[in-house]
A and B are shown apart, each in its own frame.
Chain A
Amino acid sequence: MRVLLAVMALIVLPLQVQAVTLAEDIATTIMLRGHPCGGSVVSQVQESSDAAGNRTILATCPNGHRYRVDVSSDGRVTVKRLN
């Protein structure tokens, strides 16, 4: 019975939409802005925000490049390479 349930789960699981993680999301954003990242997951993520609602995210790509992702209060996203 357990085997049957496991097989059914294997069939059903791929049909569900998998949520992306923050690290994947930031890596995708960096690549969308045309910067090389060398992978789909970033590391060493640091988030900060100011009083005006602007957010800044610092992250390191698998290729060693460190990026700064700025999200303005009106939702504009810009990416800058730091090293």
Chain B
Amino acid sequence: MISPPSQNRASDYNHPMNYSGRYLLIAIGLLLLSVVVAGCAKQSRVSLSSEHPAEQKPVTLKEGGMKTVDLASIEHQEERPAMVKESSKSAKKTEAKLPEITMEQLVERLKATEAIGLFTKLAIRSDVIDFKKSIESFRKRAAFEKNAKMLKSRFDGLLLKILALLERDPVLSKDIHLARESIWKSLVEVKS
């Protein structure tokens, strides 16, 4: 005999297999939702950054410190329409909101990251010291301006190496990438 539909449903509901099936469905739904949300966020970031290349420029140095960039505030900035021109006052306010990060802080973060091992960090440190020495030697011979292009390409190569090594720490990698011009300026600026 076939039981009435209502009783059948109740017994199905109490069946342990159906509980796990429901959880599985919820989990798959959550996973899909997170993938869709992450994909949308990435796509909007890419499309916005290609539309507003000027906003990708890193912030210049002020008083020996290096301004870098809060990712959340940048994303917030990028959400604005491209053609909207803001007044200088509001731009100043936005600039003031950006947290400052100095070269020392960046070095400390590189020291602290677990994405790079100790020996690799020492090797990078040696490379950076050598690069600084070569800049100094060019400057002493008054040949810096002539070789600025070559030094900049060496710097770009060194930075690319570091960014490749920071594959496991994407936040620090992105911060360094955004601050690359400031780092270059801090390396070449004449210290009195």
A residues contacting B by CB (< 8 A) are 1, 3-4, 6-8, 10-11, 17-22, 24-26, 28-29, 32-33, 57, 69, 71, 75-77
Contact = CB atoms under 8 A, between A and B. Distances in A.
B21 to A, nearest CB: 10
Contact of B168 (A6, A17, A75): A17
B161 interface: yes
A21 B31 CA distance: 30
Q: Is the interface of B mostly helix, strand, loop or mixed?
A: helix
Contacts of B34: 11
Contacts of B116: 20, 25, 28
A4 B118 CA distance: 37
B122 A77 contact: yes
Interface residues of B, number: 27
Given A19-B114, A20-B114, A3 B123 contact: no
Contact of B120 (A6, A18, A29, A76): A29
A3 B119 contact: no
User: Which of A10, A22, A29 has the largest number of chain B CB atoms within 10 A?
Assistant: A29
A33 B123 contact: yes
A71 B117 contact: no
Interface stretch (B22-30, B82-90, B99-107, B181-189): B22-30
B114 A25 contact: no
A1 B23 contact: yes
Contacts of A11: 30-31, 34
B20 A3 contact: yes
